[in-house]
Structure 1
Amino acid sequence: MTNASAKEHRPPIHLLAAESDMVADMALVAEHRQPVVTAMLLEEIERAELHDPDTMPPGHVRLNSHVTFIDEKTEELREVQIVLPADANIEKGRISILTPMGAALYGLGEGHTIRWPDLFGNYRPIRIVRVKEAGTTADA
């Protein structure tokens, strides 16, 4: 089964414990509107290694991180910022944590690749090139 094999090859993810609790709560509130994304995001949070700010390894995607990644299917290089739904603005490159792409990137580290379904259910390999923490890039 394609979905099972995709799960077997998921890279490790690292999250801030307090932030992951907030994101999980937000996902549960949105579950009736976005059941598939909510399920995927909660599954990723469940398997994550949780950290305090002092033990969080650098180079992992958190809320407000700026992420450069390659869609290895199309070879398209993109840079986005992972944000809360209220701050999302696709024209400014801010994508919500409650989207398939936001959920896919959350917690991944630089150099990691994950196969993740897009809005149409097609699995795409996505590789993280670089992660900048919030505040390291001026954002107007």
Structure 2
Amino acid sequence: MKYGQIIIEENEFLILENLFKLKKEEHSKTAKNHILKLLYELKNAVILPESEMPKDVIRLNSQVQISSKDNLWTKIFELVLPHQSNVAENKISLLLPMGTAVLGYAKGDDILWEFPSGLKELKVIDVQQFLKVLK
């Protein structure tokens, strides 16, 4: 990991906290492994103000290019809040397995993450910031 642990911008961290509080009952009954792993990683995350955020860290509204470690596929998508998710527009919710896998990682990072289809190794190829007003 480039920065040693995941990095989250402080306003986005508050959004995540509120999102998980709203969904707490749902998560406690049907907790998915990818959500639990993200919650665990958030406990150890570095929380930074906007002005100190590295430009190569994946955050909300980032355009992300990842590939499988075996180079069998590459994906480009924008990481968004759940209500903005639209697979046809390559907008992936941060609560989907791919979204939870990449949040807080940086360009060049390798990620080992449990997906419904099994354990996958990913490589972050590129990160572009397209910051928008968070709603």
Q: TM-score range by the shorter chain?
A: 0.7 to 0.9
CA distance in 1: counterparts of 2:88 and 2:45, whole angstroms: 30
1:112 is aligned, of 109, 112, 116, to 109
Q: Which segments of 5 or more consecutive residues in structure 2 lack a partner in the other structure?
A: none
> Which residue matches 2:44?
47
> Which residue matches 2:85?
88
In the superposition, the TM-score normalised over structure 2's length comes to: 0.84
Output one character per residue of 1:1-37: Cα deviation in whole Å (capped at 9) or x when no partner. xxxxxxxxxx521110121121122123234155223
Q: Which segments of 5 or more consecutive residues in structure 1 lack a partner in the other structure?
A: 1-10
> Which residue matches 1:27?
20
Would the aligned equivalents of 1:24 and 1:45 in 2 still touch at CA under 8 Å?
no
Output one character per residue of 1:36-57: Cα deviation in whole Å (capped at 9) or x when no partner. 2331221121111110011111
Q: In structure 2, do the counterparts of structure 1 residues 28 and 126 end up closer, same or farther at CA, with 3 Å as the change threshold?
A: farther
Q: How many residues align?
A: 125
CA distance in 1: counterparts of 2:20 and 2:102, whole angstroms: 15
Cα RMSD over matched residues? 1.8
In the superposition, the TM-score normalised over structure 1's length comes to: 0.81
The alignment status of 1:128 with 2:121, answered yes or no, reads no
Would the aligned equivalents of 2:62 and 2:129 in 1 still touch at CA under 8 Å?
yes
Name the % identity. 23
